[in-house]
Structure 1
Amino acid sequence: MPSITVQLLRGRTVEQKRAFAAAVTSAAVAELGARPGDVRIAFEHIEPDDVANGGVLASEDASRSGVLSNLGHESAAPATEAAAVAD
C-alpha cells in the first residue's frame, strides 16, 4: 500500500487537492502496480512561517508573494524588510 504524504501551504481548495490526489493515485497505479483503493494520500498543511527555502522563511520571501496572496496569506515582506528582520 503506497502511503504518500504531501506537505503544502494552507490555502489550496478541496478541488485542487481532489485533482492532485486523482493524478497521484493514477501515477501510483501505473508506475507501482498499486490498486487504486490502496493508495493513501495525506495532506499536511503548513504555514508560511513554518517552512524556509534557501534559508528564507516563505513568509519573508518576496519572490513568493504572488503564491502566498493567491492562497490567502499576507504578502511576503519586501526583500529589504526581510533582510532587516534577519539582522
Structure 2
Amino acid sequence: MHVEHHELHQEFPEMKDVINTLRTGNPMFARLFATYHRLTGKVEDLEEHDMPVDDFTLEDMKKHRVKVKDDLYHMMLAYRAGQQSVK
C-alpha cells in the first residue's frame, strides 16, 4: 500500500526556519510538534503495514492530526506576522 508521508517540514516547506525556531524556543509548539510527529508515525505505520485497526480509530487519529497541524500552522503564522512587524 502506498503511504503518503506528512512530515511538517514537507507540509510547509516555506516555514522550515519558523518550525525550527519555534521547536526550540516555544514549549507549547514543541509539545504540539511532538504530538503531530507521534500521530503521523502511528497513522503511517498502520497504513504501511496494513495492520488491522478499526476504521473509526484510524479516522479519529487522522482528525486529531489535522487539528494539531492546524494549531501548529496558526502558531507559525502568528510568529511570522510578529517577525514581519518588527522589520
- Which TM bucket (shorter chain)? 0.3 to 0.5
Structure of larger gyration radius: 1
User: RCO greater where, 1 or 2, for CA within 8 Å and sep 6 or more?
Assistant: 2
Give the structure-1-normalised TM-score.
0.34
- Of Structure 1 and Structure 2, the greater helix share is in 2
Give the structure-2-normalised TM-score.
0.34
